[in-house]
Copies of this chain bind each other. A is one copy, B any other.
Amino acid sequence: MSDLTPASPRGSAPFRPSTALLTDHYELTMLQATLDSGRAERRSIFEAFGRRLPAGRRYGVVAGTGRILEMLADFTFTSEELQFLESRKVVDSTTLDWLADFRFSGDIRGYAEGEVYFPGSPLLSVEATFAEAVVLETMILSALNYDSAVASAASRMSRVAGSRPCVDMGSRRTHEQSAVAAARATVVAGFTSTSNLEAGRRYGLTTVGTAAHSFTLIHDSEREAFEAQVRSLGSDTILLLDTYDVDEALTTAIEVAGTELGGVRLDSGDLGIQAAEVREKLDALGAINTRITVTSDLDEYAIAGLAAAPVDAYGVGTRVVTGSGAPTASLVYKLVAHSDDAGEWVSVQKKAAGKSSTGGMKEAARIIDGTIAVEEAIGIPRLELPDDLEARPLQVPLVTGGEIDHAYTGPEGVQRARERHAASMAELPRTAHRLQAGEPAIPTVFYSA
């Protein structure tokens, strides 16, 4: 079985079980019914997009695209999966046979990971038979919805932190595998590193750590703990100050580590006031290069509140891995067009109240005025703009005839996405960066042929 090959060049863990059951039951029963009705083979375009941004947000950040491509490579129904589906009578034998042969052979294009997006932006378009496109729905949405939620929150935090690094420390506050994806998404959106080791292994991210209160408490005194940490990890380490009394701890820290101490961490209390006191004392003691890291329920608002405090780095946990109030991006995956019996494309859309979508295949570009984005332009089916408008095309090919473009996967994909994000952020108007609730930073305009 291909699952048993050793560590792949894309840096993932060595064992790669099938991803094909990370799927809703109805995807496979719909497959069965369309195999029966003859509609399974109709060429189809499904589109992932958001009807709106989370309340008050000015922009969203696309993330998870690379992970979708990685999971697509393992989206096969092996005997294990088929046996389960058969034993539970989820689908009939015709459908089982189809699934046994399934390898995605269609095309996927979409916004490059790290790109910013707005309501209606066609983040991912899957063009394949109905059967091939529908079975990917749940997996695509799971990855896009979670990762984009985290990246969208991380981007706001990273932006407001300015040149001060933000570090993901949220693994313990979300599902253990979400934690890996979250670490990845925060780095796409500008964080510098993560506490998560598996994310380090899988995506080549820089991993970092300080120490916990338990480390201080297991020693007979704070001094003994600091001595142990410095002796074992070097004076470049970060000592945690608030197990007992911050001021005493700081004196001890410099006595133990000297003025070359790498950093100190504050994890409670009024971080702004404490940081100022700690900075003053560090400087007075001559530890002018010792850095101050703060942690403790930080989010973009708390980070903004610390802008004037002498803080050197932010460790962010709960709020970033839960999307800072928007734990899912609420993206949907909709059939927007299919070929009819004559081979012509037909645009389709449902009419459900408050949930309508815009049918038809789409071409998207960001209109740039000088160096600033002014509009999300979406053409149906093609975007034809006047020559005097400068437009940056937004969709890139990700999978072509079933062939995955691995430039977007693994560690390389994360770096590429990080660069894309930085470039797209630089293009946004200033209003995009206001933390207050408001309208999307630029309007989305649809152009129908």
Contacts and interface: CB of A to CB of B under 8 A. Distances in A.
A181 B173 contact: no
Q: Which of A35, A175, A196, A209 has the largest number of chain B CB atoms within 10 A? A: A175
Contacts of A243: 350-352
A157 interface: no
A302 interface: no
B244 A30 contact: no
Interface in A337-385: 338, 340, 348-355
Q: How large is the interface on A (under 10, 10 to 19, 20 to 34, 35 or more residues)?
A: 35 or more
Contact of A200 (B16, B88, B207, B245): B88
Interface in A215-267: 215-220, 224-225, 227-229, 231-233, 242-245, 267
A232 B37 contact: yes
Contact of A174 (B26, B146, B242): B146
A288 interface: no
B351 A217 contact: no
A76 interface: no
A408 interface: no
Nearest to A196: B24
Contact of A172 (B142, B207, B209, B242): B142
Contacts of A24: 169, 171-172, 195-197, 209
A145 B130 contact: no
A23 B146 contact: no
Interface in A25-69: 25-30, 32-37, 39, 42, 44, 46
Given A32-B233, A180-B22, A352-B267, A172 B145 contact: yes
Interface stretch (A132-140, A305-313, A392-400): A132-140
Contacts of A351: 243-245
Most buried by B among A7, A36, A213, A217: A217
B327 A322 contact: yes
A424 interface: no
Interface in A76-103: 80-81, 84-85, 88, 90, 92
Contact of A14 (B17, B143, B197): B17
Nearest to A336: B217
B172 A335 contact: no
Contact of A334 (B137, B138, B214): B214
Contact of A22 (B21, B27, B179): B179
Given A13-B80, A80-B14, A176-B19, A26 B71 contact: no
A268 B218 contact: no
A25 B197 contact: yes
A26 B141 contact: no
A212 interface: yes
B173 A213 contact: no
Given A22-B180, A71-B176, 4 more contacts: A137-B212, A138-B179, A173-B328, A175-B177
22 contacts: A4-B4, A13-B17, A24-B172, A25-B197, A26-B210, A26-B212, A37-B219, A37-B224, A42-B218, A81-B201, A84-B197, A84-B201, A88-B207, A92-B232, A138-B171, A142-B171, A142-B173, A147-B175, A173-B330, A214-B335, A218-B348, A242-B352
